[in-house]
Amino acid sequence: MAEEDYGCFVDWTQMGDLANSSGPSKLDVKDPLELKKLARQGHWAKNHKLRAQVYQQLIKAIPCRTVTPDAEVYRDLMGDSTGKKASSVIPLPDFVDGSAVPHYCLKADAVTTVHRVISCLAGQFPDISHCPALPAITALLLHFSADEAQCFENISRLLACNEPGRRLVDQTFLAYESSCMTFGDLANKYCPAAHKLIVATAQDVVEVYSGWQRWVLGDLPFSHVARVLDVFLVEGYKVLYRVALALLKFYRKQKAGAGAGAQPSEGQKQDSAEVKAEIQAFVKAIGSSITPDKLLEKAFSIRLFSRKEITLLQLANEKSLQQKGITVKQKRFYAHVEGYEPTLLLIRTCEADVCGAFLSTDWEERKRGGNKLSFFGTGECFVFRLKPEMERYEWVVIRHPELASSIKAQSSEDPAEYEAPTDGQSSDDNSLPVERPAADPSNRLSPFLSARHFNLNSRNTSMFMAGNVDSIIVGGGEGNALYIDGELNHGRTARCTTFDNPPLCSTESFQVALLEVWGFQDAMASDR
C-alpha cells in the first residue's frame, strides 16, 4: 500500500489482512438506498483507497453550517505539516472527558497528529462542551485522510452538520447523558435478557450504560469499528445504538456460556465500575470470537428499530434531565476570550438576523464578583445590528450627557461592581452615594472613562457587560440588549437602559445559528 493512497498515517505491519487491498477499486453509486445496501455488505471494506474515497464522498455530501472550517483554515492556523513531526503532544481539551486516542493501527507519531487536529477543532468549535467520542472519530478518519488538514475538514463537517433530524456526534453533556438514558430504554425493550443481567449484577445500571458509546468508539478493534464507520456515514447515529445493543447481547451470551450461575441477590451485586470494566474487556477482545460482519448482522437483526423512535426517546430524556437540572453549562466561551481586550461579539440567528456588541473590558473581570453575576466594562461598549439593517447604539450617557455630570477621580479605588438583579427585582436604585460634582463636563463625554468618573442618575445606565456559566449579558436596566444562555444556543434581546436600544433582532427570542468572538490585544503587550 503506497502512502499516497490515503495511508501515510497507517502502520501497515499492524493491519493484517486489511493491508492487502482486494475487491472493487471504484464506486459510481449515488443512490442512497443502494449505498446503504453496499455499506452493510462491506462493498468497499477490503480496499483501503476505495474506502477512503467513499468516505470523502459521503462526508462532502453532509449539509453543514454556512461557515464551516475547511482544510485551508487548518493550514492557515497550524501550518503545512506535511513531512514534519510534531515536537510535543498537545493536551486534549477537557470536553473529551478523559477519552484517550485509540491507536487503531496508526503510526506512533500519528497519535500526536490526532491531538493537533482536536486542538484546532476546539478552537473552531467553541460551542462543544462534551464530546468523548471525538478522539476515536478523529483517529479513524485520519486513517483515511491524505493529510491532517483533510482529516480536520472531515471532522468539521461531521460536527457542523445542520440537516434537520440528522444527528452524528454528541457535543454537549445534555445530549450525551440523554443518549445514555436512551440506550437504557432501548436495551430494556430490545435486549431484555441482557438488560436483566445488568440489572441483576450491577449496583448502578445507568453508570454501566454511561459507557455505551465508548464500547463502539474506543474499545472495538480497528477491523470492527471501521465496518461500523462504513455504515455510520451512510445511516447515521442509530447505527451506534444498534452495534452497542449487539455487543450487549454478545456479552450476555458469553456470560451465560461461561456458567455465570444464579443471579446475585441485591446485597451481592458487583460494583458498577467492575461491570463496566468487564464489558470493555469483552469488547476489546471480541475479534477472537466474532467477526465484523457477524457483529453487524446481529446489530441489524433487531426489528422495529427506527430513527423516529430514537429521536422521540432522546427528546423525552433530554426534557427529563432539564427538569431535574442535570446539565453542564457552557464554560469554554470564557476560556477563548479571556486575555483579550476589547472583544467583538457577532451573532447570526436562525432567522438570518445579524447583531453583536463591542465590549471594552477583558471577560476575566467577571471573576471579581465571585459567584455573583456582576456588571463591569466602560462607556466604550456599544451594541449594533447588521441585518436586516445597520444601526449602532452607544452608551446612552454619550448621546444624552444630561444623564450624568463629570467628577474628578477621588481615589485609585476600583470602580464599584453592581450585582445583577435577579428575576422580579428592579435594577433601578437611586440610593447610591452621590459624589460631589466638579466643573461642568465637556459637550461630549469621553467613552474611555469608567462609570465611576460620572455622577449617574441611575446605575442602570452603566450596566455594560456581565457573565457567568449560566449566561452572557450585554446591557442592563429594564431589559438586556443581548442575553445568551450558557449553552450558546438561545438568546433574547430587548430595549435596555444602558444603550437605549430597540431589540436587535426581528424577534425578541432567537436561536443562535453562529456565534463568533474576535479578540484584540495591544501590540506592545506581552504574549499570553
3-state secondary structure 343-368: EEEEEEECCCCEEEEEECCCHHHHHH
Residue of 7, 20, 6 lying closest to 53 (CA atoms): 6
d(CA 100, CA 98): 6
φ, ψ for residue 401, nearest 5 deg: -60, -20
Crossing angle of helices 307-324 and 173-190, in 10° steps, is 120
Residue of 177, 249, 188, 185 lying closest to 213 (CA atoms): 177
Computed over every residue of the chain, the mean pLDDT equals 83
Other CB atoms within a 10 A radius of the CB of residue 61 amount to 12
Q: Where are the beta strands (DSSP E) in 79-224?
A: none
The upper half-sphere exposure of residue 36, i.e. CA atoms within 13 Å in the direction of its Cβ, equals 7
First to last CA, the chain: 44
d(CA 58, CA 61): 5
Residue of 109, 99, 189, 164 lying closest to 137 (CA atoms): 99
For residue 81, the model assigns a pLDDT of 60
For residue 324, the model assigns a pLDDT of 73
Residue of 442, 441, 443, 421 lying closest to 496 (CA atoms): 421
Q: Where are the beta strands (DSSP E) in 72-216?
A: none
Q: Answer whether 435's CB lies under 8 Å from 387's CB.
A: no
For residue 2, the model assigns a pLDDT of 43
Q: Answer whether 321's CB lies under 8 Å from 327's CB.
A: yes
Mean pLDDT by 10 residues, the chain (528 residues): 69 90 84 93 92 95 91 90 60 91 93 95 89 96 95 96 90 91 94 94 92 96 96 95 96 82 62 93 95 96 82 90 65 79 92 94 85 84 94 89 55 41 40 37 49 55 82 90 87 92 94 86 50
Q: What is the DSSP string of 125-156?
A: -TT----TTHHHHHHHHHHT-SSHHHHHHHHH
Q: Which residues contact 79 (CB under 8 A, 6 or more apart)?
A: none
Crossing angle of helices 222-235 and 238-257, in 10° steps, is 140
Other CB atoms within a 10 A radius of the CB of residue 470 amount to 12
H/E stretch holding 72 reads helix 71-78
The C-alpha cell that represents 290 in the structure block: 466474532
* Bridge partners, 455 (sequence order): 405
Q: Which residues contact 6 (CB under 8 A, 6 or more apart)?
A: 48, 49, 52, 53, 143, 144, 145, 146
d(CA 196, CA 205): 10
* Bridge partners, 472 (sequence order): 467, 484
Q: Which residues contact 260 (CB under 8 A, 6 or more apart)?
A: 197
Alpha-helical regions (H) of 386-505: 396-399
For residue 39, the model assigns a pLDDT of 94
Single pTM value for the model: 0.67
Crossing angle of helices 272-284 and 238-257, in 10° steps, is 100
Calculate the alpha carbon distances from 415 to 316, 378, 419, 449, 477 in Å.
47, 10, 13, 11, 18
d(CA 407, CA 418): 20
Radius of gyration of the chain (CA): 28
Q: Answer whether 359's CB lies under 8 Å from 389's CB.
A: no
Q: Which amino acid is at 373?
A: L
